Amino acid sequence: MREINVDKITEIVKEMCINVNHFLSEDMREAYKNAYDSETSEIGKKILGQLQENLEIAGEEMIPICQDTGMAVFFVNVGQEVHITGGNLTDAINEGVRQGYVEGYLRKSVVSDPIIRKNTNDNTPAIIHYDIVEGDKIEITLAPKGFGSENMSKIYMLKPADGIEGVKEAILSAVKDAGPNACPPMVLGVGIGGTFEKCALLAKKALTRKAGEHSQTEYVKELEIEMLEKINRLNIGPAGLGGKNTAFAVNIETYATHIAGLPVAINICCHVNRHITKEI
């Protein structure tokens, strides 16, 4: 049994919060380069160039990539041979978020109650999803989620008879409805199957997969490629001003479901699609 003290977890989460809000992941940098090289719209290419310039300035001057530094969403894989010492794991993660957002001068966007709406002033509490896995390590993935794109996300409770064509229609409908409001070029996380809440979780987690890395399930991979092509023919384009790069990637995850259902969730993320993973 390996022991990990909560102080180490807090320190790593703090660093992750600061890092992910100032430096784009390598897969997203590559997605930007590919989009810029392939963009045929003059204004679309100009916008992509400006977005890339923004990324460079953010890193050089330690200014957040986006003013909406998001609500902190975590996927935490906890090895079953790990013993957490010194406190509570959830408290440790939230303390890391608090320190990261306060000391990193990141915007505090969380309110303690959805109706009363009093700001917590430290961007806590985070949204934390746990999985118990084999091994003696903890893997932490952080994906801060801005709500310009989050608000454009959709869940559809399709009928089994709607089939894969119904899924395609749902994805395209969500993108059309989002238009420029999701700050394109966007990344789509799509969850198919499970239940009402499971498909949404699948969609959220799909956003943490590297852009350009496809599903290992052949029909899902084909669907990802097809939907990206169809989305990029909508001519929404960078910033919604036209062009062939409406989306950088479509990442799809599936799960078993009930004989009477076909749940589909589309979680849209803006052009930064921040994500970072650390292993302890």
Q: What is the DSSP string of 111-136?
A: BSSTTT--B-SS--SPEEEEEEESSS
Q: Is the overall model pTM greater than 0.85, yes or no?
A: yes
Whether 9 and 109 share a structural domain? yes
Q: Is 41 helix (H, G, I), strand (E, B) or coil?
A: coil
Q: For the segment 119-144, what is each residue's pLDDT rounded down to a tens digit?
A: 999 999 999 999 999 999 999 999 99
Q: What residue ranges in the chain does DSSP mark as E strands?
A: 2-5, 73-79, 82-85, 127-133, 138-142, 154-158, 186-194, 247-257, 262-269, 276-279
pLDDT at residue 103, rounded to an integer: 97
With bands split at pLDDT 50, 70 and 90, how would you rate the model's confidence at 258?
very high
Judge whether 112 lies within some domain.
Answer: yes
Domain extent at residue 264: 147-273
Question: What is the residue-averaged pLDDT of the chain?
Answer: 97
Query: In the block, which residue shows the tokens 């917590």?
Result: 120
Domain boundary pick from 144, 161, 183? 144
Q: Which of 81, 177, 189 is nearest to 132 (CA)?
A: 81
Q: CATH number of the domain at 84, please.
A: 3.30.360
Judge whether 59 lies within some domain.
Answer: no
With bands split at pLDDT 50, 70 and 90, how would you rate the model's confidence at 241?
very high
Number of domain units in the chain: 2
d(CA 66, CA 147): 12
Q: Which of 124, 122, 120 is nearest to 105 (CA)?
A: 122
Q: Please name the amino acid found at residue 173.
A: S
Judge whether 10 lies within some domain.
Answer: yes
As a whole number, mean pLDDT of residues 176-187 equals 97
**Contact 19/276 with Cβ under 8 angstroms?**
yes
pLDDT at residue 137, rounded to an integer: 97
CA 193 to chain centre: 19
Q: For the segment 25-74, what is each residue's pLDDT rounded down to a tens digit?
A: 999 999 999 999 999 999 999 999 999 999 999 999 999 999 999 999 99
As a whole number, mean pLDDT of residues 242-257 equals 98
pLDDT at residue 15, rounded to an integer: 98
Domain boundary pick from 144, 175, 205? 144
With bands split at pLDDT 50, 70 and 90, how would you rate the model's confidence at 195?
very high
Q: What angle do CA 164, 165, 171 make, to 5 degrees?
A: 90
As a whole number, mean pLDDT of residues 226-243 equals 97
Domain boundary pick from 79, 109, 144? 144
